[in-house]
Amino acid sequence: MRREQPLRRLDRVLRVPARSRLLLLEEIGADYEALLERLAARGVPEARARRLAARRLLPGRAARADLEAAYRTPLRRWLGQGITDATATALLVALTVALGSAGILAALWWPGPLRDAGAFSWLLAAVALPALANWGHGVARIVLEDDLRAERRVRLLGRHAGFAIAGLAVASLGVAWEALGLLTAFSASAPHGEALWSAVARVSTLGAIGLGVVAAGLLSWLLLVPKLLQYERTEARIRRVVEREPVTEVAR
């Protein structure tokens, strides 16, 4: 058994904020190595020394639960035991989507070019809402757990990029469709001033909404970037701790 295996396992199962996870792993890892050295110096065979050190120092289920309770985020602490992480995440996502939906619906129902932009603006709303849910899910994880592990970060950003591209594609399609309609009308007969204005407004509004969706996607992503970078740096340090070569050569 190599030293990093139990630490890696601990890293995988310990659900505390990323920074606390790093500090706990550093502390326990250093203690674990020092105890191995001490036991090896006493002539304890390496395999037995590892078992003894692991049994003493590596947190079991009860100790992990105590540590997780001690290092809860303020929101998690405030929510208490009654609400699970999954429920709290679902509630935060639902709140984000509800607020976003209210904003989008208000914009689409309000008299003006947005309402006149037609079916494509509704399609854009259909892309924006799941994008908002995805973003809300990331934010919920950050405020609830102050942690977003690598695989989750990749999934979050992958979906975020996918929704931004889908938004741009729908908007482009809408602009092309409306522009085609405008050109067709032009070729048939000179359109009235009001009809021309209405068609131009629809094309430009769709273009603006598409750009707006992409800009909102970028801005919302930028809001998460500092935290995501912090998690990235913390995880790099955790990797160095758990992947450290064993220093118990004296036991061999």
Is the CB of 3 or the CB of 153 nearer to other proteins?
A: 3
Task: Yes or no: say if 22 and 237 are a contact pair by the CB < 8 Å rule.
Answer: yes
CB of 146 to other proteins, least distance (A): 16
Is the CB of 58 or the CB of 75 nearer to other proteins?
A: 58
Is the CB of 40 or the CB of 140 nearer to other proteins?
A: 40
Is the CB of 26 or the CB of 85 nearer to other proteins?
A: 26
CB of 145 to other proteins, least distance (A): 18
Is the CB of 32 or the CB of 163 nearer to other proteins?
A: 32
Task: Yes or no: say if 217 and 163 are a contact pair by the CB < 8 Å rule.
Answer: yes
Contact residues toward other proteins (CB under 8 A) are 23-24, 26-28, 30-35, 38, 53, 55-60, 62-64, 66-67, 70, 244, 247
CB of 2 to other proteins, least distance (A): 16
